[in-house]
Amino acid sequence: MRGNLTFDIAHLLAGSLVLVSFLQLYQARLYALLNIYALHALVLAASVAWQAFVQGAPHLYVTAAIALVFKAIVIPVVLHRIIVRLGIHREIETVVGVGPAMLAGMGLVALSMVVMLRVTPGADPLAREDLAFALSVVLLGLLMMVTRRNAVSQVVGFMSLENGLVLAATGARGMPLVVEISVAFSVLIAFIVIGIFLFRIRERFDTVDVQALDNFRGERR
Amino acid sequence: MTVVYALCGVAALLAMAPAAIALSASARSTATVYGASLIVTLTLAVISLICLLGYLPRSAVTLPLGLPWLGAHFRIDALSAFFLVVVNLGGASASLFALGYGRHEHSPQRVLPFYPAYLAAMNLVVLADDAFSFLVSWEFMSLTSWALVIAHHRVAENVRAGYVYLLMAGFGTLALLLAFGLLAGGHGDYAFDAMRAAHPPMLLAGLVLALAIAGAGSKSGVVPLHAWLPLAHPAAPSHVSALMSGVMTKVAVYGFVRIVFDLLGPPDWWWGMVVLAIGGATAAMGVLYALMQHDLKRLLAYHTVENIGIIYIGLGLALAFRVHDMPLAAALAFTAALFHVFNHSIFKSLLFFGAGAVLNATGERDMEHLGGLIHRMPQTAFVFLVGCVAISALPPLNGFVSEWLTFQAILLSPQIPAWGLKFLVPAVGALLALSAALAAACFVKAFGVSFLGRARTPAAAHAQETDGNSLAAMYFLATLCLLAGILPGIILDALAPVTQSLVGSGMPHQAGLQWLSVVPIAEGRSSYNGLLVFVFVVLSGSVAAIAIHRLASGKLRRAPAWDCGYPDPSPATQYTASSFAQPIRRVYGASIFRAREIGEMPPPGSLAAARLTVELRDLIWEGAYARIAGFVGFAADRLNVLQFLTIRRYLTLVFTALVLLLLVLAIWP
Amino acid sequence: MAVTRDLALQFAQMLVVLLLSPLLTGFVRKVKARLLRRQGPPLLQPYRDLIRLLRKDVVLAESASWLFRAVPYIIFAATWVAASLVPTFRSGLMFSWSADLIAIIALLGSARFFLALAGLDVGTSFGGIGSSREVMIASLAEPAMLMIVFTLALVAGSTQLSTIAAYIVSGAAGLRVSFGLALPALFIVAIAENARIPVDNPATHLELTMVHEAMVLEYSGRHLALIDLSSELKLLLYVSLIACLFAPWGIAAPEADAQALALGVVSYFGKLALGGALLALFETAIAKMRVFRVPAFLGAALMLGLLATLLLFVSGTL
């Protein structure tokens, strides 16, 4: 750790990913959330590129490029356009407030650190701590999906969860299928995103009266 | 021999009780009783201080009182000497204060007999060396303080306060009785020496810890057993409130330390975590409750809860360090806790004395009916300010030193290998920092709304300064606050024999250090010099004052307040206690107290007043106490049926009981 | 000889921080004005303001007490002592061991305590607004600052500022995640404590947008001069603190010679200029928050500090 710059930069990038996940939890406005997600993907791309440099694994550069192009640029732009066209409500309703969500996030980070460090006592220290950060990012993405009512924020949570998985995959060395898995995941996400919004359009154009829909479903808030 | 001197002092105090009854008709009864208490407690304080510093031998004695096969054991060792100093210092200052304050008492015959008995009981608890005398003294202490709480029995809320206090005191004594029973083991040897020698199995020891927290903790006011404290402490006369908050809670801490650190033997891995968690929760909840109050004495009582939390945080850390064999760190944490015991007894007594002086001068306890008292009662305001600065843990006074030592102990805890503590200690550290900041906010409110600004009622506008005795007591305590803040090394060295005997190590010797600094662990790691900080601040302030008055214009004139050009002559437009606490209430109160503000504005054209109602709910009271009380009521209603049975039914009950007992006798192997 | 040299350097530090603080404030205002395409006041304007205030009479409200008159001196003394203990161009100052980072924070807390009391002293509602908001902000900023102190102390093994600075300069700390979390937290706390945008607006004198200005509304003349100087000192303290903790290169070691000292002074000026410019840029780029969004903002700083401390508790290398 002392004076080992590669170690430090890898940790710093992984830690920044956790920090950006917290920033996502903090956001109350939809456009700001998309920008932060773009930052999330950017930091992921930087982290993967650094791992490619450190491990000498050129196929990881491809993963980094995919993350940069697809997740940092294409998906946020597409989501932005969809939000504008469908006129989705631009404030994110939360189930729990920002304060308790942040506290819960802190507990999750602590939990994943402790779990990872206890379960892997003999492994390479760099890999262990990066895995701990990756698990934190996954858990924070899940927390975001659980504590937000808005469909777009749930999609963003799912994608940041997937970013955490990519980080974990690159941190643990020796996974040659990473490129294929990355592409497949991205396409899958794209299909899920489009699917959700098609469903919403169908919902929206089927009936305008939410009250009638509520009565019909027999559910009460 | 030392313990015999101490017992003579206690006997003198006990003798004063019936003497006070006899004298109660005379006009000089107040001065006699309080004056005599002052002399005796001062002597006891000096004796115990000399014993603590090692110039008098530690000793024990057994008196042929109480149970015939047990006798009454009394001992003075390092821990009891320290707590005796705390108790008697508090008692002496309260007696001095009461020499002036007690003259305004309407019914002295309800207060005077119980006061010396109360002091005697607290001394006996600290001196007791076997479970029986400990419990008898403990109960005696509860009963005398209960009598003092209901001294002003014509006020309905005082009677209710006394009722809740008696219930909780009984609960506490029950828990301690069970704890001592478990410690005594099967053969029932109640002397502390025997309990120390016996080593109970870990499960039993854990149970004793839980019972000690319930018993001693409820008397000192840990959350959730604190509910009696803010009812009972304000109800008593102010010098008794000071004793209850400043001294009796410390006697309860003494009980906890004696049981857990001395009698129980080596701690288990989870003990430190439980005490630490309870301490952290108590500190945070106590100060949040205090912020929502606008009754001055109730605010001070809730604040006692916060400081007890800080003490328990230190004790929990000491336990954790002990489990993992880190004696130096344990000594640091334990010393921090004990230093805070001393500090809190001083500044809380000072603050309660100030509140008592205000109550005497204006007849009001509610801050929203006070204001502008700094002009009418300047000396009281000054000493109250010193108390507020001390309790907010601001340098260079003493509150800061004990908080600083606790923080240093927290910074040593990453070395503990337990994973639970790695979660818990940062969280508790954050809670401690939060409660320190909120305490400062609380006392800005308390001092600012009561003493500063303009008078809100005629009572406040016509207040008179307090008398000389009360002021002397307050100045004495304020000076102690300053001295303990500037010269903490002396107190740390005095505490070394206590930590040595209980934790196995003392802090490094402070007396020889350069410029009287305090170095808790090692010189290069951290140090604090209160004296230098104080000197620097005073010097800089003086240099600035001199330079300004030389170079700048010295002129000054008075004018109406600027108030952005719209000064309002009515003092009702000032900030009240509730309005001052509103931002904090909005941030923290919405979740913890379900705080709601309801504003009713009259329709336009109507001349009716607008009304703002603030609703706060005490969730601990509703969730725990009210539920248990409701359950007891429900059970009692159901069992009431037993009062109205026929003769045949009663005979059936007796018959069934007899048959059941015979069955048990038949089956038991 | 060494003792007199150390003493002289300590006094030099005290004078430097006192004389430089108005210049820093003037610099920040000038950069802000330029960013808004204005000329802005001259760099030395704060000095002129102070001298002007010193020459004026004090107009005291009729309900003000002795505390109101004493508070400016108390605040100034506490802030000046705290600022003198933060290493600027040389670490290991003669009296730096008498107060560690926790004590420095607590000294600033004392100053804030008395300022809040002064706000309540005259008995107007504006003072009450300022004081109540100030203690709310302080109730979150102080714990966040303490968590940052814990983070630094756990890495460097000490709460003494000089030791921490020396540890970071030596490179033994490296680029740590916890430092990466503590730096934004310290930045947020510094903004809150110095009453800058987005927490408070130092340039406005409109009632409902101010916190610090509301508390000092009734002050005038030499008292106001002292309070203004104290807030300028506090800004200098925080910029020096951030520079000392996160960019300590160039600070002269305790046994340094004249050349290293000169280098220390030059690098300190550079860091102040950079810090001031960044602050001005940040203040221009962001709008002031509503008062009740500030707890969320500061709560984020507290969480960051707590997370950094937690990471250090759990794993010593983070």
- What does the pLDDT look like over C184-198, one tens digit per residue? 999 999 999 998 988
pLDDT digits (tens, 9 = 90+) for C208-224: 667 888 889 899 999 99
Question: Which pLDDT belongs to residue B444?
Answer: 95
Chain C residues touching residue B545 (CB < 8 angstroms): 73
* Cβ <8 Å between C174 and A106: no
DSSP string, B584-613: HIIIIIHHHS--EEEEEPPPTT--PPPEEE
Using CA atoms, how far apart are residues C151 and C178, in angstroms rounded to an integer? 7
Give the nearest partner residue to B559 out of C59, C123, C135, using CB atoms. C59
> ∠C145-B533-B439 over CA atoms, to 5°?
45
Report the C-alpha gap between C75 and C113 in whole angstroms: 9
Residues 101-130 of B with CB under 8 A from C: none
Taking residues C68-79, what's their average pLDDT?
95
Written as six digits, the tokens of B454 are 């303009």
CA-nearest residue to C57 within chain B is: B555
Give pLDDT, residue A65.
86
Between B563 and A86, name the one with better pLDDT. Answer: B563
Report d(CA B213, CA C307) in Å as an integer: 31
Distance, in angstroms, between B272 CA and closest chain A CA? Answer: 20
Classify residue C252 by its DSSP letter: B
pLDDT profile of chain B (669 residues), mean per 10: 85 86 79 90 91 83 80 88 94 93 85 92 92 93 94 89 94 94 82 84 91 94 91 92 94 94 87 94 94 93 95 95 89 94 95 94 91 92 96 92 93 86 91 94 95 91 90 94 91 88 79 71 77 91 90 85 82 89 89 87 90 89 91 94 85 89 86
C287–chain A Cβ distance below 8 A for any pair: no
Confidence of residue C207 (pLDDT cuts 50, 70, 90): low
Which tokens hold the place of B79? 């821990």
Confidence of residue C36 (pLDDT cuts 50, 70, 90): very high
A106–C315: do the CB atoms touch at under 8 Å? no
Q: What is the pLDDT of residues C240-251, one digit of tens each?
A: 999 988 888 888
Q: What is the pLDDT of residue A209?
A: 37
- Nearest CB to C307: which of A11, A16, A106? A106
Contact B584 C59 (CB under 8 A): no
CA-to-CA distance for B380 and B389, rounded, in angstroms? 14
**Which pLDDT score, from 0 to 100, does residue A208 have?**
34
What is the per-residue pLDDT for A198?
62
Give counts: helices (H), strands (E), chain A. Answer: 9, 0
In single-letter form, the type of residue at position A123 comes to: A
- Mean pLDDT score of chain C, rounded to an integer? 89
**Residue-range definition of the domain harbouring residue C174:** 2-314
Between positions 282 and 301 of C, the ones with CB within 8 A of B are 291-292, 295
CA A163 to chain centre: 5
Residue C318 to residue C312: CA distance in whole angstroms: 6
Q: What pLDDT is recorded for position B243?
A: 94
Which one-letter DSSP state was computed for residue C61? E
CB of C18 within 8 Å of a chain B CB? The answer is no
Q: How far is A38 from chain B (nearest CA, A)?
A: 32
Q: Give me the mean pLDDT over the C156-163 stretch.
A: 86
Contact C318 A11 (CB under 8 A): yes
Chain-chain contact of C113 with B440 (C-beta, under 8 angstroms): yes
Does C145 score more than 50 pLDDT?
yes
Q: How many domains, in total, are found in chain C?
A: 1
pLDDT beyond 70 at A178: no
A1–C299 C-beta distance less than 8 A: no
Strand ranges for B539-595 from DSSP E = 556-559
Q: Which residues of B touch A114 (CB under 8 A)?
A: 419, 422-423
- Phi (first) and psi of residue B427, to 5 degrees: -60, -45
Q: What is the pLDDT of residue C291?
A: 86
Strand pairing partners for B331? none
- The predicted pLDDT at position C240 comes to 93
Q: Considering only A39-48, A164-173, B117-126, which range has the smallest mean pLDDT?
A: A164-173
CA C145/CA C154 separation, integer angstroms = 14
Please answer whether residues A189 and A166 qualify as being in contact, where contact means their C-beta atoms are separated by less than 8 angstroms.
no
Give pLDDT, residue B364: 87
Among A99-103, B277-281, C151-155, C230-234, the range scoring the smallest mean pLDDT is: A99-103
What distance separates the 2 farthest-apart alpha carbons in chain A? 66
Subunit contact C98:B533, Cβ cutoff 8 A: yes
For position A131, what pLDDT does the model report?
A: 86
Q: Is the pLDDT of residue A217 over 60?
A: no
C-alpha C15/C-alpha C207 separation (Å) is 35
The two tokens of residue A103 are 């506290």
pLDDT at C231 over 70: yes
